[in-house]
Chains A and B, each alone.
Chain A
């Protein structure tokens, strides 16, 4: 999955790198293009026409995004789930359910099967209950969402920080620094990443605990974030490096050099602001990958410990029961699909909005 997402992004941005020079030209055209294509939105049009010359890339992109229905809808969906995850305790408290408490009353004493269709769905348990324990599926779902999103966001942020840092240094420094970072990236990309995660989870989680991370799920979640981050950054670093290789030859960089600016200043004040578009696009496309990866890892048993819920563990447990209670499979499965697709669509929209060539379509 990681690699698949990367191929797409890398391709478009290696084009992008070559097309940086074009971008400035295209941007102004883009502004005009938009106003011509969507003449019905009066207010926007007035604003566009009035500000054509003064608009920044950000404004142009934002203007495009605001008119992109896919983006609006997927963002609303994501915001909804994000809020649900953040306010999970409030929501479950309001509904009177919680993800841990047992409810034997809704189970058949012979076999432990939930009484009633759809896993025993009722007003008390809107999405049904777990087989054998009677724990509430809805509460487990939104608590699982919390953990999924926490891992996905943290790992993405880690990838962005590491990838940008190494990419920018590698691209600007050239010589042996570039070479050694390049080989390091090759090394990491060549690692059988899933195997490492599975094989090292026990010992490394213990090591983290020894280093002072609280035992149990804190260590396991930290481990997942670190591993996803450490094995994820080279993809972004390669993209950033490509951009930097082209940017560093540009006039504004040369002028900064000739004025005697320090290297950090050039890297982070001059070059970095020009990189945020590819980084943002990569990050939005990476998030859904990590949501799915977290589910896979907890399915394989290296995710969070019981009794804490997670998507992967819920999906894993569902396979045994799916002929009798299909909702165990469909509820977390559908939610996972919706989130991943929404993230992907939002990411695509961001990419299109920032892509100078999109306007000419």
Chain B
């Protein structure tokens, strides 16, 4: 089960989470490791294929060298600390450049190919024993830090141990805390307090052991997909290095690039240059083609996309990580952008969390969802560009864990059109016990959200519910709503890997439980599904739980999101990497 991880802020105001979509059947680790080693090969060979085809179109065959630039309106990256990074885009980019992990996702187009696990620092995708309760990974030879010293098993263990430092890793992934065999007290606090504090160090040393180059994790329960979890937050940090929060600004690189400059704020930039100590033989995963990477901070969205559209001079090697709704018709109706635009389902489900503490009656929550004009919200977000109407929090591109819940097709008693059904909502309100007639909607303030909340006001008024908008400054949004959220809170969530165990438990049990759900029966079923070893059975259990959650309307799922981006004429290859809904950073190049 996911642990507490509040407060991660998101540049896009949606949610975060590394994510992965696509079916990933392999619960047998043996099968995984054999297929994944070939996957590793195929990732480099297939990307080689990509690059040759795209290079012919761009008219040059030299893909190495040059500088790729990312234009972003953000003023900094949330963090560069391997134990804090949790946004999909950052995990993808920093993982491709400065931060290696034990395993990684194959870089290839397609939902399945793009979420196939391959080895990175490890020689294979890990081997499980003891019924999935013990996992070990062997490090490759020749992996070094940017100062030339080798990356050891102890460094990986040290990085992992930093997840237990609650002050440091707040908002980061904490799968080590959830899964490692270290006792937890009644309040959910681990007996180990992290390397800086040192309390319970012996417990950690027993749970994570090193034998030469092999690191072994002893878990508190069978975790059939633990090798996916190690892509998040298990990255190495030089053991014993002074590594408090200051590490977030200048982490030690073990990837093909290192930080040469990092300044925050408008006009600031992150510059990555080649890490001379990086040993290509130790890293079949990254192509590391450009000589440097630059992120330009504080570029207004509209300015950034205009520059990439023009693509003149150095902007031919620039890219933006999203497009404003106003730019979409321009980019997608003009054939000149065809080869450099992306339009794909991203990993996120957009929903409105309904506070179950403030609205305990199921009927009242359902009335809100039924009254809501979801069609209007979708149109406001960009219509068909923005995605499709959602019927639950689990998204179809996750693979076998999704099945249609039928939420709007009769699960509530009768079908509900996309525009909402005020009469049915009134009926539900009348059946409900003490339904509130006035609710407050919390949202991170943007122009688009201002309009979205106006749709809430308008469509709920039809059913006699008064909506009071409560705009919150975007950077503080999740901090505020986790502390004192009102009846409705806008949110979005994507899975950490292709298993609904990274969706349903965090959203309705613990982790990202905006809805403040505490349902004993539901929790029991979630626990049963979490430890179910048979992947097919587990998928069926998640499907059922998704349906229950949808019916109880702890969230009003509004949209399965899509994502559009645009890169300059010299950037390749262009496709959406399904694992993170991002650019395929590890294999990108600047066509010379």
**Which one of B46-54, B148-156, B450-458, B484-492 is at the A interface?**
B450-458
Chain A residue at minimal CB-CB distance from B385: A111
- Which among A133, A305, A316, A319 is the interface contact of B376 at CB below 8 angstroms? A133
Q: Is the CB of A306 within 8 A of B325?
A: no
Q: Is B382's CB within 8 Å of the partner chain A?
A: yes
The residue in A111, A216, A324 that gathers the most chain B C-beta atoms within 10 A of its C-beta is A111
**Given A112-B325, A307-B458, A130-B451 contact (CB < 8 Å):** yes
The distance in angstroms between the C-alpha atoms of A107 and B383, with both chains bound, is: 9
Q: Is A301's CB within 8 Å of the partner chain B?
A: yes
Chain A at the B interface: SS class: loop
**Given A111-B328, A307-B454, A317-B471 contact (CB < 8 Å):** no
* A11: min CB distance to chain B, Å: 38
Q: Is the CB of A324 within 8 A of B453?
A: no
Given contacts A131-B325, A307-B454, A307-B458, 12 further A-B contacts (CB under 8 A): A102-B376, A104-B379, A110-B383, A111-B328, A132-B381, A132-B382, A132-B448, A135-B454, A301-B445, A306-B471, A320-B324, A320-B326
Q: Mark contacts of B315-329 with chain A using CB atoms, 8 A cut-off: 1 yes-contact digit, 0 otherwise.
A: 000000000111011
Q: Is A118's CB within 8 Å of the partner chain B?
A: no
- Which residues from chain A contact B381 at a C-beta distance below 8 Å? 112, 132
* B377: min CB distance to chain A, Å: 10
Q: Is A313's CB within 8 Å of the partner chain B?
A: yes
Q: Is the CB of B384 within 8 A of A109?
A: yes
Q: Is A323's CB within 8 Å of the partner chain B?
A: yes
Q: Mark contacts of A122-133 with chain B using CB atoms, 8 A cut-off: 1 yes-contact digit, 0 otherwise.
A: 000000001111
**Given A215-B468, A306-B457, A131-B375 contact (CB < 8 Å):** no
**Given A104-B376, A130-B451, A135-B454, A111-B325 contact (CB < 8 Å):** yes
Chain A residue at minimal CB-CB distance from B375: A104
Q: Is B28's CB within 8 Å of the partner chain A?
A: no
Q: Is the CB of B329 within 8 A of A101?
A: no
Sampled A-B contacts (10; CB under 8 Å): A109-B383, A110-B384, A112-B380, A132-B379, A132-B451, A133-B455, A301-B445, A317-B450, A317-B451, A320-B302
Residues of chain B from 14 to 32 with CB closer than 8 A to chain A in the complex: none
Chain B residue at minimal CB-CB distance from A307: B454
Q: Is B90's CB within 8 Å of the partner chain A?
A: no
Residues of chain A from 219 to 236 with CB closer than 8 A to chain B in the complex: none
Q: Mark contacts of A310-341 with chain B using CB atoms, 8 A cut-off: 1 yes-contact digit, 0 otherwise.
A: 00010011011101100000000000000000
Q: Is B330's CB within 8 Å of the partner chain A?
A: yes
- Which among B328, B329, B373, B454 is the interface contact of A306 at CB below 8 angstroms? B454
- Which residues from chain A contact B375 at a C-beta distance below 8 Å? 104
Chain A residue at minimal CB-CB distance from B459: A102
The residue in A100, A102, A130, A216 that gathers the most chain B C-beta atoms within 10 A of its C-beta is A102
Q: Is B447's CB within 8 Å of the partner chain A?
A: yes
Q: Is A210's CB within 8 Å of the partner chain B?
A: no
Q: Is B469's CB within 8 Å of the partner chain A?
A: yes
* B352: min CB distance to chain A, Å: 15
- Which among A100, A135, A301, A320 is the interface contact of B325 at CB below 8 angstroms? A320
Chain A residue at minimal CB-CB distance from B302: A320
Q: Is A113's CB within 8 Å of the partner chain B?
A: yes
Q: Is the CB of B384 within 8 A of A133?
A: no
- Which among B376, B380, B383, B448 is the interface contact of A108 at CB below 8 angstroms? B383
The distance in angstroms between the C-alpha atoms of A216 and B455, with both chains bound, is: 17
- A interface size (C-beta, 8 A): 30
Q: Is the CB of B447 within 8 A of A320?
A: yes
The residue in B324, B325, B379, B457 that gathers the most chain A C-beta atoms within 10 A of its C-beta is B379
The distance in angstroms between the C-alpha atoms of A316 and B302, with both chains bound, is: 13
Chain B interface residue bracket vs A: 20 to 34
The distance in angstroms between the C-alpha atoms of A324 and B375, with both chains bound, is: 23
- Which residues from chain B contact A316 at a C-beta distance below 8 Å? 447
* B306: min CB distance to chain A, Å: 8
- Which residues from chain B contact A215 at a C-beta distance below 8 Å? 468
Residues of chain B from 374 to 401 with CB closer than 8 A to chain A in the complex: 375-376, 379-385
Chain B residue at minimal CB-CB distance from A215: B468
- Which among B326, B380, B384, B448 is the interface contact of A323 at CB below 8 angstroms? B326
The distance in angstroms between the C-alpha atoms of A104 and B329, with both chains bound, is: 17
Q: Is the CB of B471 within 8 A of A112?
A: no
Chain B residue at minimal CB-CB distance from A99: B454
The distance in angstroms between the C-alpha atoms of A313 and B445, with both chains bound, is: 12
* A214: min CB distance to chain B, Å: 11
The distance in angstroms between the C-alpha atoms of A305 and B468, with both chains bound, is: 9
**Given A131-B325, A215-B468, A306-B453, A317-B383 contact (CB < 8 Å):** no
- Which residues from chain B contact A102 at a C-beta distance below 8 Å? 373, 376, 455, 458-459
- Which residues from chain A contact B455 at a C-beta distance below 8 Å? 102, 133
Q: Is the CB of A216 within 8 A of B454?
A: no
Q: Is the CB of B382 within 8 A of A111?
A: yes
- Which residues from chain A contact B471 at a C-beta distance below 8 Å? 301, 305-306
- Which residues from chain B contact A307 at a C-beta distance below 8 Å? 453-454, 457-458, 469
**Given A306-B469, A320-B326, A100-B379 contact (CB < 8 Å):** no
- Which among A101, A108, A111, A317 is the interface contact of B447 at CB below 8 angstroms? A317
Chain A residue at minimal CB-CB distance from B324: A320
Q: Is the CB of A112 within 8 A of B379?
A: yes
- Which residues from chain A contact B383 at a C-beta distance below 8 Å? 107-112
Chain B residue at minimal CB-CB distance from A102: B376
* B318: min CB distance to chain A, Å: 19
- Which residues from chain A contact B302 at a C-beta distance below 8 Å? 319-320
**Given A216-B468, A301-B471, A107-B454 contact (CB < 8 Å):** no
The distance in angstroms between the C-alpha atoms of A15 and B301, with both chains bound, is: 51
Q: Is the CB of A110 within 8 A of B468?
A: no
Chain B residue at minimal CB-CB distance from A321: B326
The distance in angstroms between the C-alpha atoms of A319 and B300, with both chains bound, is: 11
- Which residues from chain B contact A133 at a C-beta distance below 8 Å? 376, 379-380, 451, 454-455
Residues of chain B from 172 to 218 with CB closer than 8 A to chain A in the complex: none
Q: Is the CB of A101 within 8 A of B379?
A: no
* B236: min CB distance to chain A, Å: 42
* B493: min CB distance to chain A, Å: 23
Q: Is the CB of B457 within 8 A of A131?
A: no
Q: Is the CB of A324 within 8 A of B451?
A: no
The residue in A107, A108, A307 that gathers the most chain B C-beta atoms within 10 A of its C-beta is A307
- Which residues from chain A contact B326 at a C-beta distance below 8 Å? 113, 131, 320-321, 323-324
Q: Mark contacts of A7-51 with chain B using CB atoms, 8 A cut-off: 1 yes-contact digit, 0 otherwise.
A: 000000000000000000000000000000000000000000000
- Which residues from chain B contact A324 at a C-beta distance below 8 Å? 326, 329-330
- Which residues from chain A contact B324 at a C-beta distance below 8 Å? 320
Residues of chain A from 70 to 110 with CB closer than 8 A to chain B in the complex: 100-102, 104, 107-110
Q: Is the CB of A112 within 8 A of B458?
A: no
* A220: min CB distance to chain B, Å: 11
The distance in angstroms between the C-alpha atoms of A282 and B301, with both chains bound, is: 42
- Which residues from chain B contact A130 at a C-beta distance below 8 Å? 451
Chain A residue at minimal CB-CB distance from B326: A321
- Which residues from chain B contact A112 at a C-beta distance below 8 Å? 325, 379-383
- Which residues from chain A contact B469 at a C-beta distance below 8 Å? 305-307
- Which residues from chain B contact A301 at a C-beta distance below 8 Å? 445, 471
- Which residues from chain A contact B330 at a C-beta distance below 8 Å? 323-324
- Which among B373, B385, B457, B459 is the interface contact of A110 at CB below 8 angstroms? B385
The distance in angstroms between the C-alpha atoms of A108 and B379, with both chains bound, is: 9
Q: Is the CB of B458 within 8 A of A101?
A: yes
Q: Is the CB of A132 within 8 A of B325?
A: yes
The distance in angstroms between the C-alpha atoms of A320 and B383, with both chains bound, is: 17
The residue in A108, A317, A320 that gathers the most chain B C-beta atoms within 10 A of its C-beta is A320
The distance in angstroms between the C-alpha atoms of A130 and B211, with both chains bound, is: 64
Q: Is the CB of B329 within 8 A of A111?
A: yes
* B326: min CB distance to chain A, Å: 4
* A250: min CB distance to chain B, Å: 54
- Which residues from chain B contact A321 at a C-beta distance below 8 Å? 326
* B245: min CB distance to chain A, Å: 27
- Which among A107, A216, A323 is the interface contact of B379 at CB below 8 angstroms? A107
- Which residues from chain B contact A131 at a C-beta distance below 8 Å? 325-326
The distance in angstroms between the C-alpha atoms of A109 and B451, with both chains bound, is: 17
The distance in angstroms between the C-alpha atoms of A78 and B178, with both chains bound, is: 67
